[in-house]
Chain A
Amino acid sequence: MSPVELFSLPFMQRALIAALLTGLAAPAIGTFLVQRRLALMGDGIGHVAVTGLALGLLTGRSPVWAAVIVAVAGAVLIEVIRERGDTNGDVALALLFYGGLAGGIFLTGLGGESAASLNRYLFGSLTSMSVDDVIVTMVLAIAVVGLCVGLAPQLFAVAQDQEFARVAGLRVRSYNLLVAVLAAVSVTVAMRTVGLLLVSALMVVPVATAQQLTRSFRATITAAMAVGVVASVGGLVVAAFASYRATVAPGPTIVLLALACYVVAWPIGIWTRHRARLRQPFAEGEPATHEACDEHPHDHGPGCGHLAVPHDDHVDYVHDGHRHAAHGAHYDEH
C-alpha cells in the first residue's frame, strides 16, 4: 500500500484529526499546570481515570465518558487536597494516584475483561477510533483550547500569584477548579492518542521544550501548542511509515518525538541564556577604573565576531570572557 493510499483511509484521517486536536489541547492546559508547578498533576489524573475506564468497561457503558466523569472528580479532589495545604498533601495525592490505578486494574479483572481492552487506553489506540470517538474528541479539545485561550489573562494571573489574584478580586478557587477540570478533560481526550500512562508527557514536554527558547508567557503557550501539534501529527506519520517494516505504536512515538524536540531545544536554550548573561549591561554608576589589557593583536569592530555590548557611551566587545573597550590605541578591560 502506498503512503497516499494509507493516508486516504478513513481510520487514518480520523487518527490525524484526533492527533492534531490532542496536540493543541494538552499543551494549552499543560502550560498553566507547569506555571503553577503542578507538572505531575496530569499524571495523577491519568491514574485516577483508569478507575473510570474500568467502571465503564465493567458496567458496559461508554468507557470514555466514565473516564471523563471519574477524572474530573479526581481532579477536583486533588485540587481540594492541594488547597487545604496540609503538610503531607503530596502523600495524599500519591494515595489517590495509586488508588486510582489499582482500582482500575482490580475492576477490570472483576469484569473479566481481557488485558487488551484496558491496554487500548493505557497506551493509546489512535488508529482504532470510531467516528463518534472523533466527534467527542473534537468537541472536548475545542472546548479546552477555547477556554484556555479566552480566559488566558485570568488563568495567567491566578497561576502566577494566587494571593495577588485574590486581592485583585478574581475568584481564585473557581479558576483553580476550572484548570483542574480542563486538565481532566484533556487527559481523557489524550487518552486515545498517547494513552493514560503517557498523557502527562504531552501536557508537559512541549511546555518544557518551549520555555527553553521563550521569554514571555504568550510565546511559551503558543510554542508549546505548536510543538504539541508537530509531535502528535509527526509521531502518527512516523509510526504509519514505520509500520511497513515493524509494529510501531503511535502513542510512544509521539512522546519520543516531543522529547526529541526538547533535546534539540535544550542546548539552544543554554546557549541563549549564556549569551543573555554576557550581554547583560553593567550596573549603572559603577566606579570607573582604568585597566589596560595586554598585547591585543585583534581590532574589534562591527562584524569582528565578538559579541558587542553597549556600555554607557561606548561599546564593549566580549573577548574570551573579558569585556574589551577601545581606548585610544589600546583596549581597556571593562
Chain B
Amino acid sequence: MSGQPSAPAVAIADGSVALGGRPVLRRVDLSVAPGEFLALMGANGSGKSTLVRALVGLRPLVSGEVTLFGTPLDRYDEWSRVGYVPQRATAAAGVPASVWEVVAAGRLTRRRLLRPLSRTDRAAITDALEVVDLADRRREAVGNLSGGQQQRVLIARALAGEPELFFLDEPTAGVDLPNQQVLADTLAKLKERGATIVLVAHELGPLAPLVDRAVVMRDGRVAYDGAPLRDHEVHQPWLGEPHTHHHHDHHDHAGDVRRPRTDHVPHVASPLDGPGERR
C-alpha cells in the first residue's frame, strides 16, 4: 500500500507531543516535498529533535497526525523507504562490533527472517561504506573510530537500506571540520540521487550550501519556515532563546516570520496529555 505519487514525503498536521505532561511540540504543521533538503534548526530544547522523533514514530503524538508518503504513521509499513540516523555520541554498544556489522544492520529493512545476506545486500552495504569513505575500515571495531567517523558509520547504516527519505538528528554535533566536510559530501551525493532529507542541526557549517529550506523551531512551535538562513540569523534574538530582549527588526528578513507573541506569558497554556497515550 504505497501512498499517492504526489503526496509529500513526510508531513505532520496539527501535531502535539507532550513529555511527562509538559508540552514539547505545540500544534506543528510541516510538510516536506519529495526531493527537498530541509534543515530543522533552533536552540536547545526548542523541540527540533522531538519533531524528528515524532515523524519517525518514536514519540507518540497526543494530537494530530503524521503521514509518510501519504500513509498515516500507524498504518505505515514500508520502512525500507525511510532511513534514520539517531542522535548518538557513539555507535558502539557493550560488545565489540565491526564497522561492517553495524552498517549491515541497516539492511534489515529489506531482509527476510532467517535468510542469509544476498549478493544485492552485500553490494548495498559496500556501496554505503564507500559513500561515507570508510570502506577500508570495515573490519575495525566501531568503538575504535573517532566520533566523526562513528557518525559516518551511523549514516552508512541508514544508507544500506537504500531509503528515499532520510532523517538525520544532529549528525554534526561534536564532529570536527574534516569529518563535517565528508558528511557534507555524503549528503550532497544523496541529494543528487534524489533523496528527501530532513536534517536536524544546531549549526549548518559546511552543510549550508545544500539546504533548500530552513525551519526554525522555537518553544515547540515553528518560528520560521522559508528560504535557508545563515547560522548567525538563526540565533537572532527574535528566533533565539526565549526571554531575551528582542529587537523588532524583522522587516528586513524574507520568509514567513511569526512574531514571538508568547514570550512573556506562562508557556503551559493547556496540558496536552490526551487520553490513551500511544506507545
Contact = CB atoms under 8 A, between A and B. Distances in A.
B135 interface: no
B220 to A, nearest CB: 21
Contacts of B84: 163-164, 167-168
Contact of A153 (B79, B104, B139, B140): B104
Given A217-B101, A285-B178, A36 B108 contact: no
Interface stretch (A74-82, A154-162, A188-196, A301-309): A154-162
Most buried by B among A31, A151, A164: A164
A165 B109 CA distance: 9
Interface stretch (A2-10, A208-216, A253-261): A208-216
B15 interface: no
- Main secondary structure on A side of the interface with B: helix
A165 B157 CA distance: 11
A157 B113 contact: no
A39 B95 CA distance: 11
Contacts of B171: none
B235 interface: no
B108 A163 contact: no
B79 A168 contact: yes
A319 interface: no
Contacts of A151: 113-114
Interface stretch (B25-33, B86-94, B224-232, B267-275): B86-94
Interface residues of B, number: 36
Given A220-B96, A283-B178, A170 B141 contact: no
A61 interface: no
A186 B18 CA distance: 40
A154 B113 contact: yes
Given A151-B113, A157-B105, A217 B95 contact: yes
Nearest to B116: A153
Interface in A205-227: 207, 211, 214-221
A219 B96 CA distance: 9
Nearest to A285: B178
Nearest to B117: A153
A216 B93 contact: no
Given A160-B102, A164-B86, A167-B56, A217 B161 contact: no
A35 interface: yes
A214 B94 CA distance: 13
Interface string B59-96: 00000000000000000010110101010100101111
B126 interface: no
A143 to B, nearest CB: 15
A215 B140 contact: yes
A218 B101 contact: yes
Nearest to B97: A217
Contacts of A285: 178
Nearest to B167: A167
Nearest to A37: B94
B192 to A, nearest CB: 24
Interface string B107-124: 011010110000000000
B101 to A, nearest CB: 5
Contacts of A287: none
Contacts of B93: 35-37, 159-161
A166 interface: yes
B198 to A, nearest CB: 13
A60 interface: no
26 contacts: A34-B95, A35-B95, A37-B93, A153-B108, A156-B97, A156-B105, A157-B108, A159-B93, A164-B86, A165-B105, A166-B57, A167-B79, A168-B108, A169-B79, A170-B108, A207-B95, A214-B96, A215-B96, A215-B98, A215-B144, A216-B98, A217-B97, A217-B98, A219-B96, A276-B144, A285-B178
Given A159-B93, A161-B91, A216-B98, 20 more contacts: A34-B94, A34-B95, A37-B93, A39-B94, A153-B108, A157-B105, A160-B97, A160-B102, A164-B105, A166-B57, A167-B57, A168-B108, A169-B77, A170-B108, A211-B96, A215-B139, A216-B100, A216-B141, A284-B178, A285-B178
Interface of B: 56-58, 77, 79-80, 82, 84, 86, 88, 91, 93-98, 100-102, 104-106, 108-109, 111, 113-114, 139-141, 144, 157, 161, 167, 178
Interface of A: 31, 34-37, 39, 150-151, 153-154, 156-157, 159-161, 163-170, 207, 211, 214-221, 276, 283-285
Q: Which A-B residue pairs are the 10 nearest by beta carbons? A: A169-B79, A216-B98, A167-B84, A215-B141, A157-B105, A35-B95, A217-B97, A37-B94, A167-B56, A35-B94
